[in-house]
Chain A
Amino acid sequence: MWFEDVPLGEKTILGSYTFTEENIIAFARKYDPQPFHIDRQAAARSIYGGLIASGWHTAAVWMKLMIAYRYGRVAAGEERTQANYVSPGVRDMRWLKPVKPGMTLTYTNETFAKRDWPTLPQFGLLEGKNEARDQEGTLVYSFINRVLIARRPAGSP
């Protein structure tokens, strides 16, 4: 998929991920070892009343699901090219509801803007609205992603 092929205003379901006590603690021990992320007893005494996932864990899972979705499309023949993505950054990350063991989040992405990127004219910038919702449909996490994707080379179909 080239920059030109990305549809605007179309919501895509990227996939779902179930947070467990095991994967919450494993991530947090490595990257965010605060008591309410790694220690069940301490978490029970915290303002959260129990273990919650690191916000960066919730964020990294989006990337995991996005890549699995994109590579899956190519493997299934639904996209012809395997785009590489480079991102200058993201914004407005909001952790709206604590993520607890047993919660399954479904992540979506919707491109809302396509912009030129003058320093790398062979690329264009996509901006997308991203959401993760729990089983009840409640919004748990949202952010805006920004990613550079190659434009269709001249002569390419």
Chain B
Amino acid sequence: MTDLLHFEDFAAGQVYALGTHVLTADEIVEFAQQFDPQPQHLDPAAAKDLLGGLAASGWHLCALAMRMIVDGLFGRAASLGAPGVEDVQWRKPVRAGDRLSLDAEVLETRPSSRAGRGYVRFRFSMRRANEGGNAERVMMFVSTAMFALRKGNA
């Protein structure tokens, strides 16, 4: 497991592309039934006047982003969890059929006072591909995650 990314491998300014996901109506409704059963997340007709149609729960977008983070980065890193998130912004309604990409920008790294670990602060941005080839940012959050140190961690 020596090829896992450790704290020392992260540096401010790095950007990791964490893949794309096409969101389905079934996924939107399934999450909403469990955690956010409001009409704008469950029922396309009822959702019309509020957000202009069925839209994903913001918490669903966070959970989806986490899945993309694990699949694209933390799953090949010595991740030790995260103490929190500073700022979550839900900027645009996200709908079924949207093609979403996620990227992670390293903002800073700092060692921990506890031995064997360090903190990496990321800005995660979820973007939606548009027809013109541009991408608009639909959601973002800033979060600090802990990683094991490579040295002294044999």
Contact = CB atoms under 8 A, between A and B. Distances in A.
Interface of A: 30-34, 36, 46-48, 52, 54-56, 59-61, 63-64, 67, 84-96, 98
Interface stretch (B7-15, B82-90, B122-130): B82-90
B98 to A, nearest CB: 18
A59 B59 contact: yes
| Interface SS of A by simple majority | mixed
B88 A67 contact: no
A79 to B, nearest CB: 15
A32 B36 contact: no
A84 B59 contact: no
A63 B84 contact: no
B79 A31 contact: no
16 contacts: A31-B66, A46-B80, A59-B59, A60-B36, A63-B35, A64-B36, A64-B37, A84-B40, A84-B50, A86-B50, A86-B51, A89-B90, A90-B88, A95-B81, A95-B83, A98-B81
A85 to B, nearest CB: 7
A61 B35 contact: yes
B70 A34 contact: yes
Contact of B64 (A31, A89, A92, A94): A31
Contact of B67 (A30, A46, A52, A67): A30
Given A59-B62, A94-B83, A89 B36 contact: no
B67 A31 contact: yes
Nearest to B80: A47
B88 A89 contact: yes
Interface in B60-108: 62-64, 66-67, 70, 74-75, 79-91
Contacts of B74: 34
B24 interface: no
